[in-house]
Chain A
Amino acid sequence: MREITYRQALNEALAEELERDPNVFLMGEEVAEYNGAYKVSQGLLERFGPKRIIDTPISENGFAGLGVGAAMVGLRPIIEFMTFSFSLVAFDQVVNNAPNMFTMSGGQFNIPITFRGPNGPAHQLGATHSHATEPIYANAPGLKVCTPATPRDAKGLLKTAVRDDNPVLVLEAELLYSSKGMVEPPDEELLIPLGEAEVKREGSDVSIICYAQTVRLALAVAAQLEDEDISAEIVDLRSIKPLDERAIFDSVAKTHRVVIVEQDRPFCGVGAEVCYRIQKNIFDELDAPIVRVSQEDVPMPYNERLEKAVLPNADKLIAAVKKVCYA
């Protein structure tokens, strides 16, 4: 194992998959000559050439659709959105064309495409640039959605996504690109299954269910709670869809108390679905009502103080944990 950044991990995943399969290509705005808006595709143009690393005009619907069409005839496109906030102008391609094709064609056309890019609120980018799109896309049958929180997960999930024969969205965490973590050396194949959560920290008093940018927050809070004799188990969903129910239920059966901390908005958010499934399937295991910590239900303000107030934070999470623990 060695320590690399989240950005490097994604870059390695791209390079390895491009190397492995000539049908894989990377397309998006500024991915080639500029080396990526967030430098995730650094050096790839030089290494793989302009046939496979392709800059596009600012036409998200156009190039997302181009990817779907190329996938229909056997290529394996990786389509980068500069951020998933911009994927909204390609919504029709991502939601109507990519996942529906397999059904509508009676199983004749599966779409092996990866849509990837940063997702979720970053820092003071305002309402248009701060969308957490995971609940929107997870609502579309036929799509798979994953949300890596660490460099290791980023690499392993992206590689698996590229090899999956269905449309997969890899929602990277904008704020984590420079974060570091331990990852297997490049000569060891690292593939992480879609639909497998990971317990990032064992605990016995409360399950904190989180993903993407909230994993770090949850881990920090867990360390703090230790001082107050509350042992928190951190369950990182890693994939939103398919959802690893077993891992969630196993943890809840152990702790009997649940807080869900999510980076999206509360209404019809990821936590609502997780919550529903827990109470539906293992209601008797619960010793307290489930509490969700999410964004406030407002368009993201630019003002720094207000933005902080909208986002989940340590105080909110600690308060939620204490509430379910009756502490």
Chain B
Amino acid sequence: MQRPEPRDEVEMLALMLLIRRFEERASQQYQAQKIGGFCHLYIGQEAVVVGAIAAVRDDDYVITAYRDHAHALARGTSADACMAELFGKETGCSRGLGGSMHFFDRSRHMYGGHAIVGAHVPLAAGMAFASKYRTEDRVTLCFFGDGAINQGSFHEALNLIALFKLPVVLICENNLFAMGTSVKRSTSLKQIVDRAEGYDIPGEIVDGMNFREVRDKLAEIVCSIRKDPHPAFVEIRTYRYRGHSMSDPASYRTKDELEKYRLDDPITRLRAQLTREGKLTNEKFDQIDKHAKETVLAAVKFAEKSPELPLERLYDYTYVNSVVAGVSPAKSKESAADTAATTR
């Protein structure tokens, strides 16, 4: 079956850098109190989402948990729209109504941004169910953390996905911690990938600090799913450099552990590979990095000057206007929004 054109690796490196610079800038803006709520950064995990996206088509479905800025950026949502969402602005990818944990971009097949741990895995089952129902060869990429694998919704969804042979790649981004709880303290398995075995879903372990390994493994899996719809599970081993969210100093792990992973940094690694092969010069790298920094700085400016959704439109996004043919609109009474607004 058709594999997508191999994506240019220097471009993929640029995407990883954009994600990192975006997250660093988000961190700074959070501290400056320009961003509210919870904010979870992806720094250290860039090769996972970029490797996976490099292996699929633009029309494949992507859905993830709340550590989602990178997934939108990797899908091509602009840094402007992402930063504006963090700022709660109307120009944000969810109009400022979703926030950090709820990034959506329909046109790029990015189906969120879901903040209830494990709750989006059944949604992924539904998206893949729809592909199969319509006999499309789309694949659904469902990302989740190691913390999700003990949740009921995850187990129910895995059984349904396996039972109905749905075209989903279940991607566990194992960064070793769910907030402050290490996998060892949460999970009765030697390795996470064994969860898949219980549902007869083939599983593999992938080095998430190695872009090429992620991409190649995913490409192989996706190719086989397109031929014949079925699920697959990958445990991608990675690490987040920052705390769980902005408010977490991550005192539950050692500096040494963090240093060990930093030395294996996915961006440094791909850069070294490309440099060694003569595909990238230091000059070119600096240029890419400069561009990434400028892009996110411009995104901050864009977000700052963007308008907020006007108060008058507060009720516009609760119900979609739904006119059912044959039901007289004159008779159908005011919407719940109207009644709430008028009588409260």
Residues of A bordering B, CB below 8 Å: 25, 51, 56-57, 59, 61-75, 77, 92-93, 96-97, 101-110, 141-142, 144, 160, 163-166, 189, 191-196, 241-247, 277, 280-281
Contact = CB atoms under 8 A, between A and B. Distances in A.
A104 B123 contact: no
A24 B331 CA distance: 26
B306 interface: no
A59 B159 contact: yes
Most buried by A among B112, B153, B156: B156
B76 interface: no
A106 B336 contact: no
B202 interface: no
B319 A104 contact: no
26 contacts: A59-B156, A61-B156, A62-B122, A66-B157, A68-B126, A69-B63, A70-B127, A73-B111, A92-B116, A93-B119, A93-B153, A97-B119, A102-B320, A103-B97, A103-B317, A105-B97, A106-B94, A107-B320, A108-B106, A141-B318, A160-B324, A160-B327, A163-B322, A191-B324, A242-B335, A245-B343
B95 A107 contact: yes
A112 to B, nearest CB: 8
A51 to B, nearest CB: 7
A109 B63 CA distance: 13
Given A72-B111, A92-B116, A191 B327 contact: yes
B68 to A, nearest CB: 12
List 4 A-B pairs, minimum CB-CB distance, nearest first.
A69-B126, A65-B122, A106-B95, A62-B156
Contacts of A166: 319-320, 322
A235 to B, nearest CB: 13
B92 interface: yes
Contacts of A103: 97, 317-318
Interface in B292-341: 316-322, 324-328, 331-336, 339
A244 B343 CA distance: 12
B94 A164 contact: no
Contacts of A247: 333
B61 interface: yes
B326 to A, nearest CB: 5
Contacts of A57: 156, 159-160, 163
Contact of B96 (A64, A92, A96, A106): A106
A309 B127 CA distance: 47
Contacts of B335: 195, 242
A109 B119 contact: no
Given A66-B123, A104-B97, A242-B333, 16 more contacts: A56-B160, A57-B156, A62-B156, A66-B125, A103-B97, A104-B112, A105-B112, A106-B98, A106-B104, A106-B317, A107-B95, A107-B317, A108-B94, A142-B318, A144-B336, A193-B324
